Amino acid sequence: MTDGLTAIYPGTFDPVTNGHLDIIERAARHVARLVVAVSQNPSKTPLFSLEERIALAKEVTASIEHVEVDSFDGLLVEYAGRKGAKVLIKGLRAVSDFEYEMQMAQMNVRLAEVETLFMVASPRHSFLSSSLVKEVARLGGDVEGLVPPEVARRMKERFRGD
């Protein structure tokens, strides 16, 4: 545990997957406060509304100590400043994630000296992405083990049109 460290784990979380949850659980062991920051993200057309994404993230992280869920829009570094955080947590699944993540990390240092700590995804989750999970669920495939059960249930309902 790093005394007093607040870190932000940002993302679109449409929806939160077991890959995200793995990073959250592992990161939370090393910080005093981990803010899972759900991005409004107007550049994507999410399946779940911001409110639904927040509710799901809250539900699946409820039992993890030091974790809170919030949302943001606008510049991430400005949001981090408002939260009193100088550190971001990002997960790296494969080398292909690295280039874009490095650009964002460097930009965030340049903008506000906000540092990014990278955590490598567990091998069992390194192929996961929210888009892929949504595609499998939409086509009626089994997403058990890829997302928490409540997320699987909500996706099933959504694709049935409930």
Rule CB under 6 A: which residues touch ligand COA?
10-12, 14, 17, 19-20, 23, 39, 41, 75-76, 91, 93, 104, 107-108, 121, 125, 128-131
Instruction: Considering the complex, state which of residue 39 and residue 61 has its C-beta at the smaller distance from ligand COA.
Output: 39
Q: What is the 3-state secondary structure (H, E, C) of 32-92?
A: CEEEEEEECCCCCCCCCCHHHHHHHHHHHHCCCCCEEEEEECCCHHHHHHHHCCCEEEEEE
Contact 89, 117 (CB under 8 A): yes
Instruction: Considering the complex, state which of residue 3 and residue 14 has its C-beta at the smaller distance from ligand COA.
Output: 14
Residues 150, 23: Cα–Cα separation, whole Å: 18
Q: Is 138 a catalytic residue?
A: no
Instruction: Considering the complex, state which of residue 3 and residue 99 has its C-beta at the smaller distance from ligand COA.
Output: 99
Q: Is 130 a catalytic residue?
A: yes
Contact 41, 74 (CB under 8 A): no
Give least dist CB 126 to ligand COA, A.
Answer: 8
- Catalytic one of 53, 66, 90, 93: 93
Q: Is 26 a catalytic residue?
A: no
Q: Is 156 a catalytic residue?
A: no
Instruction: Considering the complex, state which of residue 3 and residue 68 has its C-beta at the smaller distance from ligand COA.
Output: 68
Give least dist CB 3 to ligand COA, A.
Answer: 26
Maximal CA-CA distance, the chain: 46
The residues carrying an active-site annotation are 20, 44, 93, 130
